[in-house]
């Protein structure tokens, strides 16, 4: 009866995991004080590849922390000012002639890679994936036994795929040309800039003609794949810039396009929205820290109302006396912009203030190995479309929009029909200013918030409105996206400064040929 049980027990013991290899004094000394850095790295990799025990792991960590000293053939781990034996962990008196172990950059890279290799046994999949990605940049053939063991035990497809890349990258340095050839072909199927860098490094040292040709073919294949990521990246950044220009110009499309007011303080209304967002962030951090990730939602109405309030005061106090006198309007609003900037400097200081992204807007969506779309940019593109839809609905479908269009087209007739034109002017100007505040709230998530924030967008906003056609929301959309894409496409060829100049020259020529912009007013509106 007991014989089968004994047989089962012996079988279980035979199938049990191989015990971890204990660190020896010779290994510790070779790793800490080898004849050369290459010899130390070879000893380190051999220790890591041989199922290291917890003492080996602790010793590698101590080396990475610069907490190891050597005296003759003896090695000491320094902890809390006391010496310990790296092999047994027992206290050990450190002699006066002990010297610190110095690690150069090459050794530090090997220690980091060794620690990453040890993390391949972690129960956390994210930790194992991060460790495999770290090993890809420090591929070494001596770690192949460890990689093979990790591959055999790995269940996650993502980690397993990454480990297979590490194995192929490790074989690039093999003395066997056939292995190098197979590794080059396997890595050529990837679309990663890191893989391309590894292949380029190997190409510089390769002597075998067949392997060299395979490496060049692999690099060319990777370049073809990465080119699409670069193209899509330029397209996305162009759309992102266009959405920012659209947000900045939408308010101006109302105050200038519909009302004919040249508001040089429009950029400062954007700035007020950004600072309103900063204030709401501070209030949430102080009084509602648990709900901090939602501060931006609360900041949207605050930014709108703050800028709309300033815009209403500006219209009632200054603009209403200057309708039909564009030059005086320009000079007056330019002076007001200086006053607003100085007021912000006096209240918040001249330095930029920090506005943080909420957690749900941090990070990005990796579409391709060389293309990551930031969440904050994606959210701003969606927000710009939502604001555009809201403005279009308000202008075309509401009573206020009807009155605004009526006053814009024929003020005397609208007044005769009982419309309070002075009040509508104030409402329209406050609406355009509030939209500028929303733009400032959005811009606070992608750039610096400071007193000069608005100055960077006022010229571009006017260019968008004029190019699109005065009073035309559709033209504003086309112009904003067109200028954003044109800027980013030209930057790749000519640089940022020449791209700006080229866009400005294009707008000047376009307006000369078509003064009414992309979309001109038609019928009785004209």
257's tokens: 């396009």
- In the chain, the domains with their CATH numbers are 25-213 (no CATH), 229-525 (1.10.3470)
Instruction: Name the CA dihedral angle for 75, 81, 82, 88, rounded to a multiple of 10 degrees.
Output: -50
> Mean of the per-residue pLDDT values for the chain?
82
pLDDT attached to residue 200 = 83
Reported confidence tier of residue 8, pLDDT bands at 50, 70, 90: very low
Give the C-alpha distances (Å, rounded to integers) separating 178 from 174, 188, 212: 9, 15, 12
Whether the Cβ atoms of residue 484 and residue 238 lie closer than 8 Å to each other: yes
pLDDT above 50 for 5: no
Average pLDDT over every residue of 343-348:
92
User: Over 60: is that where the pLDDT of 373 sits?
Assistant: yes
At 15 the pLDDT is 32
Query: Which residues lie across from 70 on neighbouring strands?
Result: 75, 99
Q: Which residues contact 286 (CB under 8 A, 6 or more apart)?
A: none
pLDDT of residue 108: 84
Best CA proximity match to 273, nearest among 241, 247, 243, 306: 306
How far is residue 144 from each of residues 148, 168, 522, measured CA to CA in Å?
Answer: 6, 10, 74
Q: How confident is the model at residue 300 (pLDDT cuts 50, 70, 90)?
A: very high
Euclidean distance between the first and the last CA atom of the chain, given in angstroms as a whole number: 105
**pLDDT bucket at 9, cuts 50 / 70 / 90:** very low
Residues 6+ apart with CB under 8 A from 223: 196
pLDDT at 238 over 60: yes
pLDDT at 19 (0 to 100)? 55
Is the pLDDT higher at 194 or at 333? 333
pLDDT of 205 strictly over 80: no
pLDDT value of residue 470: 63
Mean pLDDT for the stretch of residues 423-446: 90
Are 361 and 296 in contact by the 8 Å Cβ rule? The answer is yes
Alpha-carbon distance 419 to 422, whole Å? Answer: 9
pLDDT at residue number 278: 95
Calculated CA dihedral for residues 134, 140, 145, 148, nearest 10 degrees: 50
Q: What is the pLDDT of residues 19-31, one digit of tens each?
A: 556 778 888 888 8
Average pLDDT over residues 32-60: 79
pLDDT band of residue 342 (cuts 50, 70, 90) is very high
pLDDT (0 to 100) of residue 335: 92
CA 37, CA 228: separation in Å to the nearest integer? Answer: 41
Parallel, antiparallel, or unpaired for β 74-79 and 68-71? Answer: antiparallel
pLDDT top residue among 165 and 270: 270
pLDDT of residue 387: 92
Q: Give residue-wise pLDDT tens across range 109-163.
A: 788 777 777 777 777 788 778 877 777 766 666 667 777 777 887 788 878 877 7
Q: Which residue has the tokens 């904050």?
A: 376
What is residue 325's predicted lDDT score, i.e. its pLDDT?
Answer: 83
CA pair distance 242, 9, nearest whole angstrom:
71
pLDDT at 16: 38
Sign of CA dihedral 495, 496, 500, 501: negative
At 63-88, the pLDDT tens digits run 888 888 888 888 888 887 788 888 88
β-strand partners of 227: none
Question: DSSP string spanning 355-389?
Answer: -PPPGGGSSEEEEETTEEEEHHHHHHHHHHHHHHH
Does residue 12 have a pLDDT over 50? no
Tell me: the pLDDT tens digits for 493-508? 877 788 888 888 888 8
For residue 302, pLDDT over 90 is answered with yes
What is the C-alpha to C-alpha distance for residues 184 and 468, in angstroms, rounded to an integer?
52
Q: 240 or 404: which carries more pLDDT confidence?
A: 240
Q: The tokens of 308 are what?
A: 């709309």
- Under the banding of pLDDT at 50, 70 and 90, the label for residue 18 is very low
pLDDT of residue 277: 94
CA atoms within 13 A on the CB side of 160: 7
- Residue 17, pLDDT above cutoff 50: no
Res 279: pLDDT: 95
Q: What is the pLDDT of residue 137?
A: 66
Between CA 302 and CA 298 the distance in angstroms is 7
């Amino acid at each position: 009866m007991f014989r089968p049980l004994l047989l089962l027990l012996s079988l279980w013991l035979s199938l049990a995991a191989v015990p971890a290899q204990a660190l020896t004094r010779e290994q510790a000394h070779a790793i800490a004080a080898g004849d050369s850095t290459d010899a130390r790295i070879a000893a380190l990799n051999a220790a890591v590849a041989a199922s290291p025990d917890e003492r080996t792991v602790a010793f590698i960590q101590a080396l990475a922390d610069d907490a190891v000293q050597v005296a003759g053939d003896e090695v000491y781990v320094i902890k809390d000012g006391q010496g310990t034996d790296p092999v047994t962990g027992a206290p050990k008196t450190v002699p006066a002639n002990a010297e610190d172990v110095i690690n150069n950059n090459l050794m530090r890279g090997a220690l980091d890679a060794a620690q990453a290799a040890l993390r391949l046994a972690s129960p956390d999949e994210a930790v194992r994936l991060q460790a495999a990605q770290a090993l890809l940049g420090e591929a070494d053939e001596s770690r192949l036994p460890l990689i093979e063991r990790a591959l055999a035990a790995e269940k996650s497809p993502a980690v397993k795929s990454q480990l297979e890349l590490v194995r192929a990258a490790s074989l690039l340095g093999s003395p066997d040309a056939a292995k190098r050839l197979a590794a080059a072909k396997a890595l050529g199927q990837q679309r990663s800039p890191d893989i391309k860098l590894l292949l380029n490094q190997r190409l510089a040292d390769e002597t075998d003609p067949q392997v060299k040709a395979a490496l060049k073919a692999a690099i060319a294949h990777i370049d073809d794949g990465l080119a699409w990521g670069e193209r899509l990246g330029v397209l996305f950044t162009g759309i992102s810039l266009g959405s920012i220009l659209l947000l900045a110009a939408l308010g101006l499309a109302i105050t200038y396009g519909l009302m004919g007011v040249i508001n040089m303080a429009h950029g400062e209304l954007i700035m007020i929205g950004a600072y309103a967002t900063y204030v709401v962030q501070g209030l949430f951090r102080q009084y509602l820290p648990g709900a901090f990730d939602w501060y931006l939602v609360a900041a949207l109405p605050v930014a709108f109302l703050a800028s709309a309030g300033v815009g209403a005061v500006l219209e009632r106090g200054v603009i209403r006396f200057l309708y039909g006198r564009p030059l005086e309007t320009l000079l007056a609003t330019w002076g007001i912009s200086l006053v607003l900037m100085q007021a912000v400097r006096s209240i918040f200081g001249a330095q930029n203030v920090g506005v943080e992204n909420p957690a749900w807007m941090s990070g990005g969506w990796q579409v391709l190995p060389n293309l990551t779309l930031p969440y904050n940019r994606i959210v701003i593109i969606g927000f710009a479309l939502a604001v555009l839809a809201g403005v279009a609905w308000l202008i075309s479908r509401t009573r206020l929009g009807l009155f605004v269009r009526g006053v814009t087209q024929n003020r005397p007739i609208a007044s005769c029909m009982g419309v309070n034109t002075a009040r509508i002017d104030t409402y329209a100007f406050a609406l355009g200013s509030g939209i500028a505040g929303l733009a400032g709230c959005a811009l606070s998530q992608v750039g610096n918030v400071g007193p000069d924030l608005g100055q960077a967008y006022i010229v571009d906003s006017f260019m968008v409105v004029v190019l699109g056609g005065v009073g035309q929301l559709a033209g504003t959309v086309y112009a904003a996206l067109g200028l954003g894409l044109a800027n980013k496409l030209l930057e790749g060829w000519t640089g940022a400064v020449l791209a700006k100049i080229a866009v400005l020259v294009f707008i000047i020529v376009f307006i000369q040929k078509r003064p009414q912009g992309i979309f001109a007013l038609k019928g009785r509106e004209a």
